[in-house]
Amino acid sequence: MTDGRDGASRGWDRSPDAVPARFRAPTPPSSPSRPVVLPRPIPSLDRLPPYVFAELDRLKADARARGRTFVDLGIGSPDQPTPAPVMEAVRRAAGDTSRHGYPPFRGTPEFLGAASRYMAARFGVALDPAQELIAVSGSKEGVAQLLQAYCGPGDVALVPAVYYPVYARAPMLNGADAWFIPTPAPDFLPDLDAIPADVLSRAKVLVVNYPNNPTGAVCDVAFLARCVAFARRHGLLLLSDLAYAELSFDGYRAPSVFEVPGAMDVAVELHSCSKAFNMAGLRIGFAAGSAEAIATLGAYRTNVGYGTPWVAQAAGAAALDAHATLAAPIVAEYRARRDAVYTALREAGWDVTPPRAAMYAWLPVPEGFDDWGWVRAALDEVGVVVTPGLAFGPGGAGWFRISLVQPAPVLSQAVARLAELAARVPA
């Protein structure tokens, strides 16, 4: 035996049999009949309604396996390229080694400054970038985190009966409940008077989303003023999801909730670069609100992440500072696509009114079909993927959504095939 420090030079026997049993690592089971049993996930996962898009993905995968081709108008993911000035900002930021570390969790001064300038130029709203704005990795993330920061077990989130799924799922994951406000056609505005007193007594947040996904419905400042007054009267946080602020047509311009006097006391508004600037993959948006509400969202975010990447914030700043120039051709393209869809529908005899905002057509399921029967027939018989309205809550039953994510000629042909299918009316 030598005086060396490593085990071999000291003459230790390193074979497994030489190690006392109490120090040996447990032998893994050799039989596949003994699977590892994981603990059960949180019960709130089991409370969530079925995720319709998973079934839609299954139907598409089955069609591909059978060698079928189809036009996918299901998911609302922009198909056009991100504007060149935004991509140049991405390249510059990616090459800047000072931006390879963790970003400021509230947001970079450049991005928050751009968000403040955007709110002033677009809505005439003055916001303090250091206190009343925070960067988020896409508005969906901000919506979910804000809902979970305010809604826990026993609480209620008030959600329109036709809704973007995260509005209900985020509070439900946190042990809270979602109560669906009747949202009747054709305006698809929530009937606040229909909310029972016992529900209001537990409610913490009221969610609104205009321009609306999936319906394309719009609102005016007067509606937002009613929501602000309602939130103030019942001690609620008003969450306004303005993800489609720039995608509007025919002279309509979406308002901000902060155009309502006193809204800053009760509201938080979410903005996104995804749709207006074709930046869905960059995951960048911002939340605006009172210093107290933004601090609450910031406290949640700093405990679950490290902020929004530098590159995404650089891209977002470039987009917001040039919002009018960059959004205009994108909006024009969506307008042309909308017009192509509704022209084809009217030529086929459908009595429909084009939406004045967003990037969808929201249409009634044709007579003779149920919701899923129509979706399956559209895929199997005419090769077009549409989304059942049930994906967007109980108020979506009897409707389906077309996403305007193909060029106008493709949309015209797809809609003509859908109209021809509808005319067959199953026996």
Instruction: Give the tens place of pLDDT for each residue, 239-271.
Output: 999 999 999 999 999 999 999 999 999 999 999
Looking at residue 362, its pLDDT comes to 99
Does position 218 have pLDDT exceeding 60, yes or no? yes
In this prediction, residue 26 has a pLDDT band, given cuts at 50, 70 and 90, of low
In this prediction, residue 30 has a pLDDT band, given cuts at 50, 70 and 90, of low
Q: What is d(CA 274, CA 140) in angstroms, rounded to the nearest whole number?
A: 10
Q: What is d(CA 216, CA 341) in angstroms, rounded to the nearest whole number?
A: 14
For residue 12, is it within any domain? no
In this prediction, residue 50 has a pLDDT band, given cuts at 50, 70 and 90, of confident
Q: What is d(CA 319, CA 30) in angstroms, rounded to the nearest whole number?
A: 57
Sequence-ordered alpha helix ranges (H) in 124-196? 139-150, 166-173
Report the DSSP beta bridge partners of residue 133: 288
Looking at residue 142, its pLDDT comes to 97
Looking at residue 36, its pLDDT comes to 78
Does position 29 have pLDDT exceeding 60, yes or no? no
Does position 191 have pLDDT exceeding 60, yes or no? yes
Give the percent of the chain with pLDDT over 90.
88
Q: How far is CA 425 from CA 206, 365, 368, 400, in A?
A: 40, 11, 5, 17
Answer with the one of 322, 337, 358 that is the final residue of a domain.
Answer: 322
Q: Give the burial string for 335-349 (b: 16+ CB within 10 Å, else e).
A: bebbebbbebbeeee
**Structure token digits, residue 308:** 């929004």
Q: Is the dihedral of CA 226, 227, 232, 233 positive or negative?
A: positive
Higher pLDDT, 184 or 10: 184
- CATH number of the domain at 371, please: 3.90.1150.10
For residue 38, is it within any domain? no
Instruction: Return the H-helix or E-strand segment holding 181.
Output: strand 177-181
Looking at residue 49, its pLDDT comes to 85
**Structure token digits, residue 16:** 């497994």
Residue type, 287: A
Q: Do 348 and 269 fall within a single domain?
A: no
Does position 323 have pLDDT exceeding 50, yes or no? yes
Q: Give the count of alpha carbons within 13 A of 87, CB side only.
A: 6
Q: What is d(CA 272, CA 209) in angstroms, rounded to the nearest whole number?
A: 12
Q: Do 239 and 162 fall within a single domain?
A: yes
- Count how many domains the chain has: 2
**Structure token digits, residue 8:** 């071999």
Coil, strand or helix at 196: coil
Looking at residue 35, its pLDDT comes to 76
Q: What is d(CA 165, CA 54) in angstroms, rounded to the nearest whole number?
A: 13
> What spatial distance separates the first Cα and last Cα of the chain, rounded to whole Å?
92
Q: Do 412 and 351 fall within a single domain?
A: yes
For residue 335, is it within any domain? yes
Higher pLDDT, 57 or 426: 57
Q: Do 204 and 279 fall within a single domain?
A: yes
For residue 30, is it within any domain? no
Does position 153 have pLDDT exceeding 50, yes or no? yes
Q: Do 71 and 177 fall within a single domain?
A: no
Centre a 10 Å sphere on the Cβ of residue 155 and count the other Cβ atoms it contains.
Answer: 17
Residue type, 285: G
Looking at residue 7, its pLDDT comes to 41
- CATH number of the domain at 299, please: 3.40.640.10
Domain that holds residue 165: 84-322
Centre a 10 Å sphere on the Cβ of residue 385 and count the other Cβ atoms it contains.
Answer: 20
Q: How far is CA 412 from CA 366, 379, 393, 415, 423, in A?
A: 18, 16, 28, 5, 17
Give the percent of the chain with pLDDT over 70.
91
Q: DSSP assignment, residue 84?
A: H
Average the pLDDT over 289-308 and give the result.
Answer: 96
Q: What is d(CA 183, CA 161) in angstroms, rounded to the nearest whole number?
A: 6
Does position 194 have pLDDT exceeding 70, yes or no? yes
In this prediction, residue 275 has a pLDDT band, given cuts at 50, 70 and 90, of very high
Q: Do 296 and 355 fall within a single domain?
A: no
Q: Do 203 and 296 fall within a single domain?
A: yes
Q: What is d(CA 149, CA 143) in angstroms, rounded to the nearest whole number?
A: 10
Q: Do 216 and 186 fall within a single domain?
A: yes
Does position 34 have pLDDT exceeding 80, yes or no? no
Answer with the one of 322, 345, 378 that is the final residue of a domain.
Answer: 322
Across the chain, mean pLDDT equals 93
Average the pLDDT over 157-165 and give the result.
Answer: 98
In this prediction, residue 25 has a pLDDT band, given cuts at 50, 70 and 90, of low
**Structure token digits, residue 117:** 């300038």
Answer with the one of 298, 322, 346 that is the final residue of a domain.
Answer: 322
Q: Do 316 and 227 fall within a single domain?
A: yes
Q: Do 116 and 263 fall within a single domain?
A: yes
Does position 298 have pLDDT exceeding 50, yes or no? yes
Q: What is d(CA 47, CA 103) in angstroms, rounded to the nearest whole number?
A: 35
Looking at residue 33, its pLDDT comes to 64
**Structure token digits, residue 181:** 């406000």
Q: Give the count of alpha carbons within 13 A of 246, CB side only.
A: 27
Q: Which of 242, 86, 234, 97 is nearest to 164 (CA)?
A: 242
Q: Do 133 and 192 fall within a single domain?
A: yes
Looking at residue 51, its pLDDT comes to 87
**Structure token digits, residue 289:** 């609100």
Coil, strand or helix at 399: strand
Note whether 362 and 353 are within 8 A (CB): no
Looking at residue 1, its pLDDT comes to 43
Does position 17 have pLDDT exceeding 80, yes or no? no
Q: Phi, psi (5° rounding) for residue 4?
A: -60, 160
Looking at residue 367, its pLDDT comes to 94
Q: Do 357 and 233 fall within a single domain?
A: no
Q: How many residues in the chain?
A: 427
Looking at residue 4, its pLDDT comes to 43
Looking at residue 199, its pLDDT comes to 98
Give the pTM.
0.90
In this prediction, residue 169 has a pLDDT band, given cuts at 50, 70 and 90, of very high
Looking at residue 180, its pLDDT comes to 98
